[in-house]
Structure 1
Amino acid sequence: MIDYNHCPHQWTQSVPFIPAWVQEMPKTPCCPQTPRPVTPNPIFPTNAALPTCTPLELKKTGPRTVLITVSIPAESIITLPSKALEIKTIRKNLKLTQCRFFNSPPPLRCIPQDTPKLFLGGYVRKNVQYSEPIRQTATTVESSLKDFVIDVPYSCVIDLGRIRAIAPTLFSEQQEYEFSSTAPLPSGFSTKDKLISGDLTELNVVSHQFMNSLPSCELIFSQINEMDDALDRVPMTGGPFEEGVFRTVQEKMVILIQLELTFPAEINPQPAPHPPNDHHHSNTGNCHNPFFSMTLKVLRAFIKIKI
């Protein structure tokens, strides 16, 4: 239990009831420590427009589960801590740190309908083992084995436009209501008249709060297809003519991820019968256009006159 009497800027309103076990606890004379400032996640950029990935496969595996397969290209440049003669091996492990589902807003008249999205992100842990040359002759090179670990981030937004009939998002709302009040009028009004209006001194509110459940995400399978090229390789001084050293490596990866989403309610994904930009999937097709209606009436009247 902390003694707040010695702490500045504390709320001093007394509580109506303090349990006995709380009163028996010894008081801590020091103030609570100030929390450390939050450091941004180094895996994700502070501000960026994320690329949208079209899933390779979107398959319903159960009443509430969907299997998603997506391919994510990634590229990075790695600088080794010392000069390398050659890379012996690279061990890779995929880490998934974000799998966040965004449901599309409810359809509204004359507003284009968006599609559900899945924010995906993480990093590939790479353990690079390479040989560092120690001494060399015209025909030999002696090296020591080095080990270097680095995290390569990746991020992508998956378009789940082919998933249909997802449980809609429930929105919290707050509604106000008033009671009619009657008050006498000042001089100058008839004595039979009264002021009837809402009471401005009252505030009556009904609040509704809904708790939506996010789907759970499980990583099923991952595959990393990688190509690494040295960018600054130079011939080794005093060594065999075909040998060289480098420190900067450019890597290109194609990351294949398969994961399963489990929704709290039953879903029904179906292939889209028309392209997303087709007028069948737009709520703007039935919008009333006054200019178009007026033009149509003028044309009809002109046709009748000509006939």
Structure 2
Amino acid sequence: MGNCNPKPPFDPACPVESTQQIPLFDEAVDSVFPPSRPIIKVPVTVAERTLQIVVESEIPLSPAATEIKRVTKNVFLEQVKLVPVRFRRIANTDYFEVIRAKLFVSGFIRKNIEYSSAACQGTLRDRIADVEFSGFAELTEGDFITTPIVGISDSSKAHFLSDKNDQVPRLDKYFFQNLVKYNEQPYGELLGANFYELDFSPERVGPEEEFDTLREKIVMDLYVKVLQVQQHQVQSLRVIPRFPEGTLGVTSSDPQPEQPKPCSPCDDD
């Protein structure tokens, strides 16, 4: 017959103290949802654009290469600036909606080039190159998801006549007023990039021959989001947690629970 005794458990070599956790009961907190119309100040999307950037460059390789193994790329934005050029006044205020603007972008493409040299069992070489680019795009009213807002500052100046001669102005007395509005600067956010690239040696080389220059032609679709912090009034529900109070917080104006009816001798009939 076989051995009916169970095999003893495996003894750990490096035991540490542990505590078994006790499961806790949990349930959702009851909430009250009164309607509200708050005014919030948040970043809003002004525009989302795809910018096609075309660059050509020559990258020196040292030591020289015989074969390109792999090329990886990332894009870094250094500038995303919106310059308004056409406006529409908002009601009777000194604030204007931007209905046409120039979007300036600049940055660089960081390339990581891995290649092999002429050595039969040489190490894999690595070359990092930063390819700069810059340009602008034209944005019209239909390109904006939410129109940017600009407040215009102003100044005024009052002149006075001489106290002794009403026909002569005073050049030493003026009244000035300066109204300054500080605007939220639109800013950019990098969403992504799609690269199409052709890399080759500018001089024709045969198999196993070396080349020390890599010419590249890159077409990059750059995806950019433009935002501006604005104030908006929204229709929402305010969420307020509500806890079971028991006898706490109960006042005379609160509805009282229904009391049971007293028993009568007739109830048993």
TM-score, length-normalised on structure 1?
0.52
Aligned equivalent of 1:247: 212
CA contact (8 A) 1:166 1:266 kept: no
Q: CA deviation at 1:233?
A: 4.4
C-alpha distance in 1, partners of 2:231/2:116?
Answer: 54
C-alpha distance in 2, partners of 1:158/1:81?
Answer: 37
CA contact (8 A) 1:99 1:119 kept: yes
C-alpha distance in 2, partners of 1:175/1:247?
Answer: 66
Q: Which string of whole-angstrom CA distances, capped at 9 and with x for unpartnered residues, describes residues 160-211 of structure 1?
A: 123368345333332210233331xxxxxxxxxx544332111321112121
C-alpha distance in 1, partners of 2:102/2:166?
Answer: 55
CA contact (8 A) 1:232 1:247 kept: no
Instruction: Give the alignment of 1:100-119 within 5 angstroms.
Output: 100-106=81-87, 115-119=100-104
Aligned equivalent of 2:169: 198
Identity of aligned residues (%): 26
Q: CA deviation at 1:154?
A: 1.3
More helix as a share of residues: 1
What amino acid maps onto 1:143 in structure 2?
Answer: G
C-alpha distance in 1, partners of 2:199/2:69?
Answer: 12
* Residue 150, structure 1, aligned to residue 150, structure 2: no
What amino acid maps onto 2:213 in structure 1?
Answer: T
Match 1:174 to one of 155, 158, 162: 155
Aligned equivalent of 1:230: 201
C-alpha distance in 1, partners of 2:209/2:148?
Answer: 60
Instruction: Give the alignment of 1:281-296 within 5 angstroms.
Output: none
Runs of 4+, deviation exceeding 6 Å: none
Q: CA deviation at 1:77?
A: 1.1
Q: CA deviation at 1:70?
A: 2.0
What amino acid maps onto 1:245 in structure 2?
Answer: E
Higher relative contact order (CA 8 A, sep 6+): 2
C-alpha distance in 2, partners of 1:167/1:160?
Answer: 12
C-alpha distance in 2, partners of 1:63/1:217?
Answer: 12
- Which piece of structure 1 moves more, 170-179 or 206-215? 170-179
Q: CA deviation at 1:97?
A: 1.1
Match 2:114 to one of 129, 134, 148: 129
Aligned equivalent of 1:218: 189
CA contact (8 A) 2:50 2:222 kept: yes
CA contact (8 A) 1:133 1:144 kept: no
C-alpha distance in 1, partners of 2:83/2:69?
Answer: 42
Q: How many residues align?
A: 180
Closer, same or farther: CA 266–246 of 1 in aligned 2, 3 Å: farther
Q: CA deviation at 1:151?
A: 0.2
C-alpha distance in 2, partners of 1:201/1:179?
Answer: 9
Bigger CA radius of gyration = 2
C-alpha distance in 2, partners of 1:167/1:261?
Answer: 10
C-alpha distance in 1, partners of 2:70/2:62?
Answer: 16
C-alpha distance in 2, partners of 1:254/1:213?
Answer: 33
| Matched position secondary structure for 2:185 | coil
What amino acid maps onto 1:228 in structure 2?
Answer: D
What amino acid maps onto 2:129 in structure 1?
Answer: I
Match 1:259 to one of 198, 212, 224: 224
CA contact (8 A) 1:233 1:244 kept: no
Q: Which string of whole-angstrom CA distances, capped at 9 and with x for unpartnered residues, describes residues 127-186 of structure 1?
A: 11111113xxxxxx4433211111001112111123368345333332210233331xxx
Closer, same or farther: CA 82–176 of 1 in aligned 2, 3 Å: same
How big is the alpha-carbon RMSD for the aligned residues of Structure 1 and Structure 2? 2.8
In structure 1, runs of 5+ residues without a counterpart are 1-61, 108-112, 135-140, 184-193, 236-241, 268-307
In structure 2, runs of 5+ residues without a counterpart are 1-42, 89-97, 233-269
TM-score, length-normalised on structure 2?
0.59
More strand as a share of residues: 2
* Residue 72, structure 1, aligned to residue 61, structure 2: no
C-alpha distance in 2, partners of 1:205/1:163?
Answer: 40
